[in-house]
Amino acid sequence: MGPDTLFFFVIFVIVLGMGAGYAAHLVLEPHRRPKWSELFVIGIIGSFVGGILGGLIFSHTFEFHPSGIIGSVLGSIAVLYVYQLIKGKRHLIEESPEHQAEHQGAAHPGSGSHHETRHSNKPGRKNKQARKKH
Protein backbone atom coordinates (compact mmCIF):
# COMPACT_ATOMS: atom_id res chain seq x y z
CA MET A 1 0.00 0.00 0.00
CA GLY A 2 1.59 3.27 -1.14
CA PRO A 3 1.48 6.57 0.75
CA ASP A 4 -1.29 7.96 -1.48
CA THR A 5 -3.44 4.86 -1.01
CA LEU A 6 -2.88 4.91 2.75
CA PHE A 7 -3.81 8.61 2.91
CA PHE A 8 -7.08 8.05 1.04
CA PHE A 9 -7.86 4.97 3.14
CA VAL A 10 -7.45 7.00 6.35
CA ILE A 11 -9.66 9.79 4.95
CA PHE A 12 -12.26 7.19 3.92
CA VAL A 13 -12.27 5.61 7.39
CA ILE A 14 -12.68 9.04 9.03
CA VAL A 15 -15.56 10.02 6.75
CA LEU A 16 -17.17 6.58 7.07
CA GLY A 17 -16.87 6.69 10.88
CA MET A 18 -18.38 10.17 11.10
CA GLY A 19 -21.17 9.28 8.68
CA ALA A 20 -22.05 5.99 10.36
CA GLY A 21 -21.94 7.55 13.83
CA TYR A 22 -24.14 10.44 12.70
CA ALA A 23 -26.62 8.06 11.04
CA ALA A 24 -26.85 6.06 14.28
CA HIS A 25 -27.34 9.33 16.16
CA LEU A 26 -30.22 10.30 13.86
CA VAL A 27 -31.90 6.94 14.44
CA LEU A 28 -31.50 6.74 18.23
CA GLU A 29 -31.05 10.34 19.43
CA PRO A 30 -32.64 12.69 16.88
CA HIS A 31 -33.41 15.45 19.40
CA ARG A 32 -30.04 15.55 21.16
CA ARG A 33 -27.22 17.75 19.92
CA PRO A 34 -24.47 15.53 18.44
CA LYS A 35 -21.08 15.20 20.10
CA TRP A 36 -18.87 14.71 17.07
CA SER A 37 -15.93 13.09 18.83
CA GLU A 38 -18.30 10.59 20.45
CA LEU A 39 -20.02 9.87 17.13
CA PHE A 40 -16.67 9.40 15.38
CA VAL A 41 -15.55 6.77 17.90
CA ILE A 42 -18.96 5.06 17.80
CA GLY A 43 -18.84 5.04 13.98
CA ILE A 44 -15.35 3.49 13.85
CA ILE A 45 -16.22 0.84 16.44
CA GLY A 46 -19.56 0.29 14.69
CA SER A 47 -17.79 -0.35 11.40
CA PHE A 48 -15.80 -3.18 12.96
CA VAL A 49 -18.86 -4.52 14.80
CA GLY A 50 -20.74 -4.48 11.47
CA GLY A 51 -17.84 -6.31 9.82
CA ILE A 52 -17.76 -8.99 12.50
CA LEU A 53 -21.56 -9.47 12.45
CA GLY A 54 -21.65 -9.49 8.66
CA GLY A 55 -18.96 -12.15 8.57
CA LEU A 56 -20.78 -14.28 11.12
CA ILE A 57 -24.13 -13.98 9.35
CA PHE A 58 -23.14 -14.26 5.70
CA SER A 59 -19.90 -16.24 5.56
CA HIS A 60 -20.03 -17.98 8.96
CA THR A 61 -16.54 -16.76 9.85
CA PHE A 62 -15.29 -14.56 12.66
CA GLU A 63 -13.17 -11.93 10.95
CA PHE A 64 -12.06 -8.64 12.45
CA HIS A 65 -12.33 -6.07 9.66
CA PRO A 66 -14.21 -2.86 8.89
CA SER A 67 -17.51 -3.11 7.11
CA GLY A 68 -19.07 -1.24 4.22
CA ILE A 69 -21.51 1.62 4.58
CA ILE A 70 -24.60 -0.42 5.50
CA GLY A 71 -22.73 -2.67 7.93
CA SER A 72 -21.04 0.36 9.48
CA VAL A 73 -24.36 2.12 10.07
CA LEU A 74 -26.01 -0.99 11.51
CA GLY A 75 -22.99 -1.70 13.70
CA SER A 76 -22.94 1.94 14.86
CA ILE A 77 -26.60 1.76 15.82
CA ALA A 78 -25.84 -1.33 17.91
CA VAL A 79 -22.78 0.30 19.53
CA LEU A 80 -24.67 3.54 20.28
CA TYR A 81 -27.55 1.58 21.78
CA VAL A 82 -25.22 -0.35 24.11
CA TYR A 83 -23.40 2.89 24.97
CA GLN A 84 -26.73 4.51 25.89
CA LEU A 85 -27.60 1.55 28.12
CA ILE A 86 -24.27 1.76 29.93
CA LYS A 87 -24.43 5.54 30.21
CA GLY A 88 -28.04 5.39 31.41
CA LYS A 89 -27.23 2.87 34.14
CA ARG A 90 -24.29 4.97 35.29
CA HIS A 91 -26.56 8.04 35.33
CA LEU A 92 -29.17 6.18 37.40
CA ILE A 93 -26.51 5.02 39.85
CA GLU A 94 -25.18 8.57 40.25
CA GLU A 95 -28.70 9.85 40.97
CA SER A 96 -29.52 7.18 43.57
CA PRO A 97 -29.90 8.46 47.15
CA GLU A 98 -27.31 5.97 48.42
CA HIS A 99 -24.70 7.19 45.91
CA GLN A 100 -25.41 10.85 46.69
CA ALA A 101 -25.19 10.24 50.44
CA GLU A 102 -21.82 8.53 50.05
CA HIS A 103 -20.36 11.36 47.99
CA GLN A 104 -21.80 14.20 50.03
CA GLY A 105 -20.02 13.01 53.13
CA ALA A 106 -16.75 12.31 51.33
CA ALA A 107 -16.52 15.48 49.23
CA HIS A 108 -17.67 18.12 51.72
CA PRO A 109 -18.14 16.74 55.23
CA GLY A 110 -21.00 18.52 56.95
CA SER A 111 -21.54 21.08 54.22
CA GLY A 112 -23.90 19.25 51.81
CA SER A 113 -23.34 18.48 48.18
CA HIS A 114 -20.84 19.99 45.77
CA HIS A 115 -23.69 21.61 43.84
CA GLU A 116 -24.87 23.55 46.89
CA THR A 117 -21.50 25.14 47.50
CA ARG A 118 -20.97 25.92 43.83
CA HIS A 119 -24.27 27.78 43.39
CA SER A 120 -24.73 29.22 46.87
CA ASN A 121 -22.55 32.27 46.29
CA LYS A 122 -24.39 33.45 43.17
CA PRO A 123 -26.66 36.39 43.99
CA GLY A 124 -30.36 36.07 43.22
CA ARG A 125 -30.19 32.36 42.45
CA LYS A 126 -31.41 29.65 44.80
CA ASN A 127 -29.92 26.23 44.45
CA LYS A 128 -32.04 23.20 43.61
CA GLN A 129 -31.45 21.49 46.93
CA ALA A 130 -32.77 24.48 48.90
CA ARG A 131 -35.89 24.70 46.72
CA LYS A 132 -36.65 21.01 47.23
CA LYS A 133 -36.44 21.35 51.03
CA HIS A 134 -38.98 24.22 51.16
pLDDT, tens digit (0-9, with 9 covering 90-100), for 94-131 = 566 665 666 665 554 554 444 444 444 555 555 555 55
User: Does residue 103 lie within any of the structural domains?
Assistant: no
Residue 31 DSSP SS3? coil
Q: Is the pTM of this model over 0.75?
A: no
User: Does residue 18 lie within any of the structural domains?
Assistant: yes
User: Does residue 56 lie within any of the structural domains?
Assistant: yes
**Whole-number Cα distances in Å, 78 to 20, 53, 56:** 11, 11, 15
State the residue range of the domain holding 54.
Answer: 3-98
Residue 24: pLDDT band with limits 50, 70, 90:
very high
User: Does residue 94 lie within any of the structural domains?
Assistant: yes
User: Does residue 64 lie within any of the structural domains?
Assistant: yes
In 10 A of CB 70, how many CB atoms?
11
Selection from 59, 75, 67, 68 nearest residue 21 by Cα: 75
User: Does residue 17 lie within any of the structural domains?
Assistant: yes
Rounded Cα distance, 46 and 28, in Å: 14
